[in-house]
Amino acid sequence: MSDFILEMKNITKEYPGVKALDNVNLQVERGEIHALCGENGAGKSTLMNVLSGTIPYGQYTGDIVYNGKTCQFHNIHNSEELGIVIIHQELALIPELTIAENMFLGNERKNKFGVIDWNETYKQAQEEMKRVGLKEKSSTLIKDIGTGKQQLVEIAKALSKHVKLLILDEPTSSLNEEDSKMLLDMLLQFKKEGMTSILITHKLNEVAYCADKITILRDGATIETIGNPNHNIDEERIIKGMVGRELTNRFPAREHRIGKEVMLEAKNWTVHHPVYTEKCIDDKVNFKVHKGEIVGFSGLQGAGRTELAKSLFGRAYGSHISGQEFIGGKEVHLKNERDAIEHGLAYVTEDRKVDGLVLEDSIAWNTTMARMEKVANKWGVIDVPKENKVAGQYVEKMKTKTPSVQQHAGNLSGGNQQKVLLAKWMFADPDVLILDEPTRGIDVGAKYEIYQIMNDMVAQGKAVVMISSEMPELLGMCDRIYVMNEGKIVAEFRAEEATQEKILAAILKSDDKKVEG
Amino acid sequence: MKATAVLKKYTMLIALVVVIILFSALTGGRLLLAQNVSNLLLQNAYVLIMACGMLLCILTGGNVDLSVGSTLCFAAAVSAKLMSDGKPAGMAILASLVIAAVIGLCQGYLIGYVHIPPFICTLAGMFLFRGAGRVVLSSQTINISNQTFLKIFTSYIKFPGEQNRAVTSSLIICIIVAICITLLQLIQRKTRVSRGYDVDPLPAQLIKLLIIDAVIIWYGSKLMQYKGIPVMIIWILAVVLIFAFLTSQTTFGRYFYAVGGNEKATKLSGIDPRRIYFWAYFLMSFLAGFAGLAHAARIGSVDGSMGNSFEMDAIASCFIGGASAYGGSGNVSGVVVGAILLGVINQGMSIYGLADEWQYVVKGAVLLAAVIFDVVSNHKTGKS
């Protein structure tokens, strides 16, 4: 008999009209790293919410057996007391508080009078931080450290709760490759120390690298559990389980028909930080995109790619902007976002929840938002039935899964939200689309569909700029790739000559140069 | 639609009916006497008018305008002063509206473009314009005797030669309105069906129309028994209908929901949030000025404490009417129901003879209950 730390048996959870989980079974052995894979909406997060008590006992059916005992968690404290800690995709840290304050939030180190013992707090925080390899001082404010380090603080926080079963929901979705590797290695280290982890991720190479077993969920049901003893599982094997069919090619084929016309060009484009105006974010950037071309931007977090895109999009970012911007060969001086849209530019934001969609508004409203005049008369009176019809057409075209266009965007899964966001910008009918991390945090099936949409757009003679931190997708999709580092373009590759190694080397070399200089 | 969905959609309307029945019983039917029914809207005209503007402010992110009670007083004071100096009514009205518009320009500019927090900016305005109003009045009460002015806001619509009792014109007009609404709705339904758009099931729509018609005709029959249709109702209807149209049917109105829902996304969609904030506070102040004129005409005089805490009535109406305290959701029809609900409670308590101090307690409790209901029910449906 195997030694299971956790067994979830026949878990079923129904929401009105939807069966989110249907007799799901999950068995996790003590001391392993167990990956949970599945498309968006497959039920991974719901399952973990059941486990952590976020969905309390009584609202689901089935049993949770933890350490041999059947448990009934009514809230997150119940599960944490037994050492089950979940770290969510969206970090739950307060920027204005210190690392130590965040770490013991709700779990403060107090003396016998109930007053917080700050000395003990900072000392203990420092100890936990050492375990995760954080060299900051525990009195540093969260807002002053990067996302990668914030993720480590979350893990240190979990450790301070004497965690026995650590659940990580997409821990690397906002990390670059280097930080991701470090985090995974840390999990492997914890495993040696006897900790059990459940890892939810879309990045299959990470699954192959560190998971011992992989459970695949699809449409709220357990499909299979695969062993990965040698850490060399074929990614296609996992994909097959997730989508129920084999994706022979992860990137849809495209006819490369690149025109001579330059659709968007920047010359000596320089952007400074909006608040710390002396800080140069983008330094004399030159690039161009042709008609029918997909151009990729690779680089680490903070390389200045998003800022470049936003500043070109009607100066939505930055100060002291200088340089020239050309759209369709003509120099333009865009005053604001509206101006950019009217010149045929679209910027699809990197974070759909923060600055992409209005989550409490309907799909229909979100779809027409950037170009409402297209469904309104000249007096600004909206033709609501027409708006619904148009939105419905995009839902159909993009295979967005939703009961109706009246559905609130916030009720959709990540991949479907991304489709609504894309629909919004396709409705604006631009000539040049800048896509910032268009496939972040969405599943393989939806990714493929979004790639397909990109291909359709260039086939119509539009130009696409794709900013992405996932090198395989840049290599798979783009005609040309620019590599950025520290606000400068440090290399340019044609797709056929580019490799992950070359791109990384270009970034590292430019760092070396700086040290020498 | 399922029963629970109907219940949820019309909660406040149902609450209104319950409250009316409750107070009718408590007051031995006096609440529904013709005179009281007629007065209900007249007494709450300022709330209904200002709540429409307040909705825009609240939509932008749960922000409120605290200065409207003072703006109302200031605008009314200017009119009263000018008319007491013998100036014509038209000039007085224009001056008041210009003052209100200028106040709106300033507050809108400061909040929208200088990014002064609305709460602080309008708190300052609340003191400023209250003071300015008193300066204009020289801290005295000014009576309004200009008949043209009073007529514009407080007269009643009558056919020539009609007397104050049994004003059949009001019943006839209401019946005509009811018929028009019914026809328009059915024609609209037909065109929508022919174009293949979604429509409510026929029985549901017919029941809805029947209820609306019944209420309008019942209301007409009440007005018939007391002086007829007040002109004030036309003013209220004009404001309410314009704002209902703006918020639900135009791109301009949609922007307020977008800004309140997600300001960053709105900006990146090419909509300037600064402009939206500006318009919210500009229109609010303008409406406050207009409400000031209406209220002054109804009272017949203006003093320095006029409009005290009126802002709270407007804000409360919005929240009782289902506007989200976080911005981004709410609509004019809800706000109107909220304002009437508040009005009925006020009037009911007065007729019942509840002590003033207890009236405050009841009003506070109703507001709190409404917001708790809103937050809890949204929470259950999974929002935020």
Contacting residues for A408 by C-beta, under 8 A, at least 6 apart: A359, A360, A361, A362, A363, B383
Query: Mean pLDDT over residues B309-335, rounded?
Result: 91
pLDDT of residue A160: 87
User: In chain A, what residues touch B250 (CB-CB under 8 Å)?
Assistant: 376, 379-382
How far is A320 from B5, CA to CA, in rounded Å?
A: 53
Greatest C-alpha distance within chain A: 76
* Predicted local confidence at residue A120, as pLDDT: 87
Q: List the structure tokens of B253.
A: 């109105």
CA dihedral A77, A159, A154, A165 (to 10 degrees): -60
CA distances from B301 to B46, B147, B150, B306 (A): 15, 13, 11, 9
- Please tell me the distance in Å from A254's CA to the nearest CA on chain B: 30
Q: What is the predicted pLDDT for the residue at B94? A: 97
Return the pLDDT at A96: 87
Model pLDDT, residue B384: 40
Which residues of B make CB contacts under 8 Å with A?
192, 195, 197-198, 249-252, 254, 257-258, 261-262, 264-272, 328-329, 382-384
Residue B255: closest C-alpha in chain A: A369
Average pLDDT over residues A308-337: 93
Closest Cα in chain B to A355: B265
Supply the pLDDT for residue A516.
47
Q: Please indicate if any CB of chain B lies within 8 Å of the CB of A378.
A: no
Q: What is the mean pLDDT of chain A?
A: 88
What is the Cα–Cα distance from B373 to B384, expressed in whole angstroms?
15
Q: Is A393 touching B (CB cutoff 8 A)?
A: no
CB contact under 8 A, B254 and A382: yes
Work out the percent of chain B whose per-residue pLDDT is above 70: 97
The structure tokens 């758009």 sit at B197
Contact B118, B103 (CB under 8 A): no
**Residue A262 binned pLDDT confidence (cut-offs 50, 70, 90):** very high
Q: Are B99 and B269 in contact (CB under 8 A)?
A: no
Q: Is residue B232 over pLDDT 60?
A: yes
Decide if A18 touches B, using CB distance below 8 A: no
Per-residue pLDDT at A1: 55
Give the count of alpha carbons within 13 A of B134, CB side only: 11
pLDDT one-digit tens code per residue, A386-422: 999 999 999 998 888 888 899 999 888 888 899 999 9
CB contact under 8 A, A358 and B266: yes
Residue of B1, B4, B115, B268 for testing the chain A interface, max A β-carbons within 10 Å: B268
Q: Check A411 against B382: CB less than 8 A apart.
A: yes
CA of B325 to nearest chain A CA: how many angstroms apart? 13
How much is the average pLDDT of A479-488?
92
pLDDT at B381: 45
For residues A100-124, b (16+ Cβ closer than 10 Å) or e, as one string?
Answer: bbbbbeeeebeeeeeeeeeeebbeb
Which residues from B are below 8 Å from A354, CB to CB?
264-265
Which of A336, A355, A381 is closest, CB to CB, to B265? A355
- Secondary element (H or E) of residue A99: helix A99-103
What span, in angstroms and rounded, lies between the C-alpha atoms of B175 and B164? 20
Q: Decide if A78 touches B, using CB distance below 8 A.
A: no
Q: Is B169 helix (H, G, I), strand (E, B) or coil?
A: helix
pLDDT tens digits, one per residue of B37-87: 999 999 999 999 999 999 999 999 889 999 999 999 999 999 999 999 999
Contact A238, A207 (CB under 8 A): yes
Indicate yes or no: CB of A355 within 8 angstroms of CB of B192: no
DSSP A372: G
Q: Which residues contact B2 (CB under 8 A, 6 or more apart)?
A: none
A168: left (phi over 0), alpha (psi -120 to 50) or beta: beta
Q: Do B268 and A341 touch (CB under 8 A)?
A: no
- Mean pLDDT of the B222-248 span: 93
The torsion angles phi and psi of A172, rounded to 5 degrees, stand at -105, 10
- Closest by CA to A206, choosing from A223, A189, A181, is A181
Top-ranked range on mean pLDDT: pick from A61-70, A119-128, A206-215, B118-127: B118-127
User: What residues in A contact B272, CB-CB < 8 Å?
Assistant: 336, 338
DSSP letters along A150-202, please?
HHHHHHHHHHHTT-SEEEEESTTTTS-HHHHHHHHHHHHHHHHTT-EEEEE-S
Question: Tell me: the pLDDT tens digits for A211-242?
Answer: 999 999 887 889 889 888 888 888 878 877 87
Q: Does A379 touch chain B (CB under 8 A)?
A: yes
Q: Taking residues A320-334, report their average pLDDT.
A: 93
Chain B residue with minimum CA distance to A356: B265
- Going by the DSSP 8-state scheme, the letter that residue B379 receives in this structure is H
The answer to whether the Cβ–Cβ distance between A381 and B258 falls below 8 Å is no
pLDDT band per the 50, 70, 90 thresholds, residue B2: low
- Which tens digits make up the pLDDT trace of A22-64? 899 999 999 999 999 887 667 888 899 999 888 899 889 999 9
Residues B335 and B313: their CA atoms lie apart, in Å, by 11
Determine, for residues A360 and B268 on separate chains, whether the beta-carbon distance falls below 8 Å: no
Please answer yes or no on whether A337 and B269 come within 8 Å at the CB atom: yes
pLDDT tens, position by position, A74-126: 988 889 889 999 988 777 888 888 999 988 888 888 888 888 888 888 989 99
pLDDT digits (tens, 9 = 90+) for B200-217: 888 888 999 999 999 999
For residue B384, list chain A residues with Cβ-Cβ distance below 8 A.
Answer: 360
A362 touches chain B (CB under 8 A): no
- How many angstroms away from the CA of B262 is the closest CA of chain A? 5
Query: Chain B partners of A347 at a C-beta cutoff of 8 Å?
Result: 268
Q: What is the mean pLDDT of residues A330-339?
A: 93
Percent of chain A with pLDDT over 90: 42
Tell me the pLDDT of chain B averaged across its residues. 91
Q: Which residue of B has its CA nearest to A383?
A: B249
Neighboring chain A residues of B252 at a CB cutoff of 8 Å: 380
Whether the CB of A73 is below 8 Å from some CB of chain B: the reply is no
Query: Token pair of A243, please?
Result: 């989508």
Looking at the predicted complex, does its ipTM rise above 0.90?
A: no
Q: Which residue type sits at A402?
A: T
Backbone φ, ψ for residue A92 (5° rounding) = -105, 55
The answer to whether A247 contacts chain B (CB < 8 Å) is no
Query: Does B257 contact A358 at a Cβ distance shorter than 8 Å?
Result: yes
CA distance A511 to A300: 12
Provide the CB-side half-sphere exposure for B219 (13 A, CA). Answer: 19
Residue B107 in contact with residue B67, Cβ under 8 Å?
A: yes
Coil, helix or strand for A276? coil
Rg of chain B over CA atoms, in angstroms? 21
On whether the CB atoms of residues A155 and A131 are closer than 8 A, the answer is no
Q: Is residue A389 within 8 angstroms of chain B, CB to CB?
A: yes
Whether residue B270 and residue A349 make contact (CB cut-off 8 A), yes or no, is: no
Q: What is the pLDDT of residue A17?
A: 57
Give the number of A-B residue pairs with CB atoms closer than 8 Å. Answer: 88
- Reduced to 3 states (helix: H, G, I; strand: E, B; else coil), residue A449 is helix
Angle formed by the axes of helices B273-299 and B147-154, nearest 10° = 110
- Which range has the worst mean pLDDT, A137-141, A174-178, A482-486? A174-178
Is the Cβ pair B265, A356 closer than 8 Å? yes
Look at residue A94 in the predicted model and tell me its pLDDT.
87
Strand stretches in chain B, DSSP E: 142-143, 156-157, 229-230, 301-302
Q: What is the mean pLDDT of residues B197-201?
A: 79
pLDDT of B179 over the 90 cut: yes
Mutate to test the interface with B, among A361, A408, A433, A436 (most CBs of B within 10 A): A361
Sheet containing A294-299: order of strands? A345-348, A432-436, A463-467, A294-299, A480-485, A488-494
A356 contacts chain B (CB < 8 A): yes
Verify whether the Cβ–Cβ distance B254 to A338 is below 8 Å. no
Q: What is the pLDDT of residue A495?
A: 86
* Bridge partner list, A217: A222
Q: What's the pLDDT score for residue A134?
A: 85
Give the minimum alpha-carbon distance from B320 to chain A in angstroms, rounded to a whole number: 20
pLDDT range class, residue A462, cuts 50, 70, 90: very high
Yes or no, beta carbons of B272 and A379 under 8 Å apart: no
Whether the Cβ atoms of residue A214 and residue A223 lie closer than 8 Å to each other: no
Q: pLDDT at position A248, please?
A: 60
| Count of Cβ atoms closer than 10 Å to residue A390 Cβ | 19
Contact between A172 and A180 (Cβ < 8 Å) = yes
What pLDDT was estimated at residue B20? Answer: 93
Q: A349 to chain B: which residues are within 8 Å by CB?
A: 265, 268
Whether the per-residue pLDDT at B36 is higher than 70: the answer is yes
Give the closest residue to A168 by CA, choosing from A234, A99, A89. Answer: A89
Query: How much is the pLDDT for A18?
Result: 65
Q: Which chain B residue is nearest to residue A310, measuring alpha carbons?
A: B268
Find out whether B223 and B170 touch, Cβ atoms under 8 Å.
yes
Tokens of A321: 């902007």
Using CA atoms, how far residue B46 sits from A52, A212, B153, B292, B318, in Å, is 52, 69, 12, 7, 14
B329 contacts in chain A (CB < 8 Å): 360
A337 shares contact with chain B (CB less than 8 Å): yes
Chain B neighbors of A356, CB-CB under 8 A: 265, 268
CB contact under 8 A, A380 and B268: no
- For B154-175, how does the pLDDT look when each residue is reduced to its tens digit (9 = 90+)? 998 877 777 766 778 888 999 9
Residue type, B245: F
Res A467: pLDDT: 94
Residue B383 scores a pLDDT above 60: no
Instruction: Output the six-digit token pair for B1.
Output: 């639609």
Which alpha helices (H) appear in A315-459, and where do they start and end? 337-342, 363-368, 384-397, 414-427, 444-459
Rounded distance between C-alpha atoms, residue A440 and residue A446, angstroms: 11
pLDDT for the residue numbered A507: 80
Instruction: Tell me the residue length of chain B.
Output: 384
Measure A95 CA to nearest chain B CA, in Å.
Answer: 19
B chain contacts of residue A374, beta-carbon cutoff 8 Å: none
